[in-house]
A = this chain, B = another copy of it.
Amino acid sequence: MARRATHPASSDLDARKATILEAVVSEHIDTAQPVGSSSVASSADLGVSSATVRSEMVSLEREGYLAQPHTSAGRVPTDKGYRYFVDHLASGVLGTVQQHQLSDFFASVRGEVEDVLEQTSTLLSRMTSYTAVVVAATHAHSSILSAQLVNIDARHQLLVSVFSDGSVVKHSLTPPFDVDFETCTEASRQLNALLIGTSLESAVQVPSRQDHVAVLVREAVAALHAAPPTADGERVFIGGSSRVADSFDGVETVRKVLSILEQELLVVSLVQDMLNRGLSVAIGTENGYEPLSACAVVVAPVTIDGATAGAVGLLGPTRMKYQEAMAAASAVSQHLTRHFGGDEENANH
């Protein structure tokens, strides 16, 4: 990875090749058709003929940026070609119409966090015409503000826990004995004393006695600390899954992508994996899921108090409009960050 000279290092291209590659990619994104040398020669205004472009394309193909569906067709970008494209992309700006759409939305939106995120995913999808994903991170680090045990009936109790991030989680308990009102109230009192201020990560000193109250308390703490309580740890909101049908032509591809989207845990780990790897765009096989090899995914993190609190993402075909998608995703993530991070200032507007 030393000099960059006449023979460019494999990860870099000379100016003309770069221009040609970009022209091919953007035209193919527009038209979904293979791109020929002549249309590149005329659209990109490097003053060369199609023959020259042609020979450059041959070398771009040799280096793996382009591919030919068949001889005597134009070129199509490979995943590597798209990768180069997005890495050298002037980060686009959101259209003013969409900026207003966003501002209006966040200015007027009301209700619970879940509703806001749900609606956000729908909005983002409508703005981009891709499938949108909004992930709200786990509350593992949040502390518990309240833990209450409610007696549904003698054999069923419900532990309702409220976290400092405003999330509420319930856990059913079915102890092997009947529970009367007093026992439940006492257990609830003890749970409150035990749990308030702790987080899910901190260990809790449970009573070791064998009386009903103690058993209840132990069961409750165990349920709370058990792995995914209800699948509420990470919450996913998927908007515009019907867009998948437009984005891909093969029925089989559509089915595969949809069935991935159904598995929300998988979507979460995909997004989180990208954030961990510091990727904001995953193209084709980069995302690591074979059924999504025809897809590109764009993500942008949402941070609250400096910590990652979630993410927004967009899923489309590899020939997606990256500028627009990235601009939209990052704009939405910023709005979300502001919306949930700086409530105080916002309230004064």
Contact = CB atoms under 8 A, between A and B. Distances in A.
B168 A158 contact: yes
A72 to B, nearest CB: 29
A172 B343 CA distance: 13
A347 interface: yes
Contact of A262 (B114, B242, B246, B344): B242
A54 interface: no
B145 A152 contact: yes
Interface stretch (A7-15, A22-30, A251-259): A251-259
A39 interface: no
Interface stretch (A81-89, A159-167, A205-213, A314-322): A159-167
Contacts of A347: 155, 174
Interface in A110-157: 111-115, 118, 145-146, 148, 150-152, 155-156
B255 A241 contact: no
A170 B114 CA distance: 11
A231 B155 contact: no
A166 B152 contact: yes
A174 B174 CA distance: 36
A244 interface: yes
A240 interface: yes
Contacts of A113: 172
Contacts of A145: 150-152
B170 A112 contact: yes
A255 B242 contact: yes
A155 B343 CA distance: 10
Nearest to A149: B146
A145 B152 CA distance: 8
Contacts of A166: 152, 156, 158, 172
A172 B258 contact: no
Nearest to A174: B347
A230 B172 contact: no
B172 A112 contact: yes
A245 to B, nearest CB: 4
A258 B255 CA distance: 12
B162 A150 contact: yes
Given A150-B145, A158-B168, A245 B231 contact: no
Interface in A210-261: 230-231, 239-242, 244-246, 249, 251, 254-256, 258-259, 261
Given A115-B230, A148-B148, A251-B251, 16 more contacts: A111-B172, A113-B172, A115-B231, A150-B162, A156-B166, A158-B162, A160-B160, A168-B168, A242-B255, A242-B261, A244-B258, A245-B251, A245-B255, A251-B254, A254-B254, A258-B258
